Structure 1
Amino acid sequence: MYFALTLVLAAPPLADVPAPRLLGELVELKTGTGTLYGTFDLPAKPGPWPVVLLHAGSGPTNRDGNGPLTRTDNLKMVGRALAAKGIAVLRIDKRGVGASASALAKEEDVRVETYAADVLAWVSLLRNDTRFTKLGYIGHSEGALIGLVAAQDAKFDAIVSLCGPGRPLQVVLREQLKRGLPDDLYKQSDTILTELEAGRAVKEAPKSLAALFRPSVQPYLISMFKHDPAKLAAGVSAPFLIVSGSTDIQVSAADAKCLGDANTSARVVTVEGMNHVLKVVPKTDRADQLPSYSDPSLALHPKLVPELVGFFTKSLSGK
């Protein structure tokens, strides 16, 4: 999830989640600055299996797809749904989030390249696990960009951009902020974005924008602004699936088109009536969208999993 919408969401109450029907296996990855944690969703049938690394989006979104201000269980649902179809999934808490929180000492130390390096470490762990055959990647939202940054070195056998950006983050942020802020506040945010684009930190930001532009997160934003997802997508040689939702109010289908135009070998799919958190929401009004960000009982859009299963069944077949 991108930062802008996060600012307006109210924290929902936590709810009890039923025990998994499929085998969930906890996994640890030791790094030089702390341990990262994740969960395997493993098929019921005997392996070896193809495996998919599933990466969450921006902010404090954990391996289940939840954060302090959101509760969707969307990534947990994706993992279990793929496992039910014979595809193993590793869902991770990225550095600084969830169980991996202690692996990041200071927020100002993280860069997009930090997360990309962690992806490479997880890839090494998966490729050395004899239970798995070919390796795929799903990046949701900002996780798609992180995957594209890592892709050249990771050498994924297949990659999915799931509601991922196709334009530089600052372009998408400007769109979101222009829709959600009064004109005077938007002008201030635009000035800050211009400075960050130039690689210059801003000492002070309006209090109402502090969650987005606080000093400790500015180094990360500066690192993000250096990357153009479309240029990165052009370099992907593995099978590539680009999925967007027609009612996604955070990352539009225009972003998927940018990625597809950059990589004409990719398959581009727009799921009608799917929003950014992968749920069925037919309308783009904020009032219609917000309940899906705090109701984990809502199922995934029914057309999403068949698209993912069909893509990975073909692209990850064999050894």
Structure 2
Amino acid sequence: MKLSMGSIIRILIFSFSMISASLVVAQTDDENGGDGLPTQQELTASGPEGTLRGTLTLPVADGAIPDGTPVVLIVPGSGPTDRDGNSPFGISAASYALLAEALAERGIPSVRIDKRGMFGSADAIPNANEVTITAYGDDVLAWTRAIRERLPTTGGGTRCVLPLGHSEGGLVVLAAIARLPDPCGLILVSTPGRPLGTVLRDQLHANPANAPILNEADEAITTLERGEQVNASTLNPALQPLFAPEVQGFLIDAFGYDPAALIAETRVPVLIVQGMRDLQVGEVDARRLADSAPEATLSLVPDVNHVLKAVLSDDKAANLAAYADPDLPIAQDVVEAVTQFLEQIDE
């Protein structure tokens, strides 16, 4: 049976293809400024070898943010996912951009970012594949400093910068939160609760069309979990992009983290948001995270898929179609869960 790479990629949250795309994300400084609507501004932070770039969305054009108002730092998911939540792998849902707009309408500022080596942050490192979870965490710290410099409090206190990690971004912020100066909270959205090797195995096994390649895939994952490289050239051609030599260093690093163990050590308020129609991360992951952190708030949102859009049936085709529909609004249940959590932080 001949398997297309597209059929495999569609069921994977962690394609791990870190190759930088040559797409350009259009940005407009002070977009909508002056008309009473939320305003968007380019924001930069210091990267390892060059500038990290993102978009600051403010509820009001003059940028006057009360001291107690948190700033949400949206940390993107796996692979070449840009600051808006889009990817050259056929994802154009604009989930992060829509979330930022929805939060701004509720008075909450946010920053969404391009990952080091990609898109607007392409100059931050020469090779976007040479990354680790810890390196991405370094950027979370850099962004936190940049946000606090851009939006200082008037009373001399420390601005609350609250990371929101989506998908793989949830693992990044879980690993980074202990290093964050004056952390005030954490939001995990569609975040795996199991080691990524386990999640990847389950996702591959969930698609019957992958049966001919499962033994090879399982062996490759096990090898990487041991910290050893895989000879990708010997694998089925459908698996070679997934286990390409240039991404194996990242895979070995990422497979070494257990999200449940990380959240058990977290000492800040945590919100866990999980869509119940998510084809890639499920309730089992959210509950494993919640069981490891009994004081965390768990929000299971019905009819919401992985890109945070409302899907009103079990039709997989309709679910996947939402991945390419930027006109489909962000799920309001997700926005409400995040807003209510932030209101508690602000008290």
Would the TM-score normalized by the shorter structure come out above 0.5? yes
CA distance in 2, matches of 1:58, 1:6: 6
- Equivalent of residue 12 in structure 2, options 4, 15, 19: 4
1:95-135 CA distance string (max 9 Å, x none): 12211123232244111111011111111222333445322
Instruction: Tell me which of 202, 208, 211 is aligned to 1:183.
Output: 211
Among 73, 98, 107, which residue is 1:53 paired with?
A: 73
Distance 1:167 1:196, change over 3 A: same
Match of 1:222 among 252, 261, 264: 252
Alpha-carbon shift at residue 5 of structure 1 (Å): 5.5
Structure 1 segments unaligned to the other structure (5+ residues): 8-13
**1:145 corresponds to 2:171:** yes
CA contact (8 A) 1:249 1:284 kept: no
Whichever residue aligns with residue 51 of structure 1, its letter is V
**1: CA distance, partners of 2:128 / 2:76:** 17
> What are the residue-to-residue correspondences of 1:19-58 with 2, within 5 Å?
21-44=37-60, 46-48=64-66, 49-58=69-78
Residue by residue, what CA displacement relative to the aligned partner does 1:258-302 show, whole Å, maximum 9, x if unpaired? 000000000101000000000011334431211101010001112
1:293 counterpart residue number: 323
When residues 206 and 104 of structure 1 are mapped into structure 2, their CA distance, relative to the original with a 3 A threshold, is: farther
- Partners of 1:5 and 1:94 lie apart in 2 by 17
Corresponding residue for residue 220 of structure 2: 192
Which has the higher Rg, Structure 1 or Structure 2? 2
Overall identity of the aligned pairs, in %: 36
Equivalent residue number for residue 65 of structure 1: 85
TM-score of the pair, normalised by structure 1: 0.91
Supply the distance in 1 between the matched residues of 2:163 and 2:10 (Cα, whole angstroms). 20
Query: How has the CA–CA distance of structure 1 residues 103 and 125 changed in structure 2, closer, same or farther, with 3 Å as cutoff?
Result: same
How does the TM-score come out when normalised to structure 2? 0.84
Aligned counterpart, 1:10: none
Q: How many pairs does the alignment contain?
A: 311
**8 Å CA contact retained: 2:13, 2:78:** no
Unaligned runs of 5+ in 2: 1-8, 16-23, 154-158
Query: Do structure 1's residue 206 and structure 2's residue 236 form an aligned pair?
Result: yes
Aligned equivalents of 2:248, 2:11: Cα separation in 1: 12
Map 1:1-319 to 2 at 5 A.
Answer: 4=12, 21-44=37-60, 46-48=64-66, 49-68=69-88, 69-131=90-152, 133-154=159-180, 155-180=182-207, 181-204=209-232, 205-317=235-347
Deviation for aligned residue 1:211: 2.3
In terms of fraction of residues, the more strand-rich structure is 1
Q: Distance in 1 between matches of 2:121 and 2:240?
A: 24
CA distance in 2 between counterparts of 1:167 and 1:285 reads 26
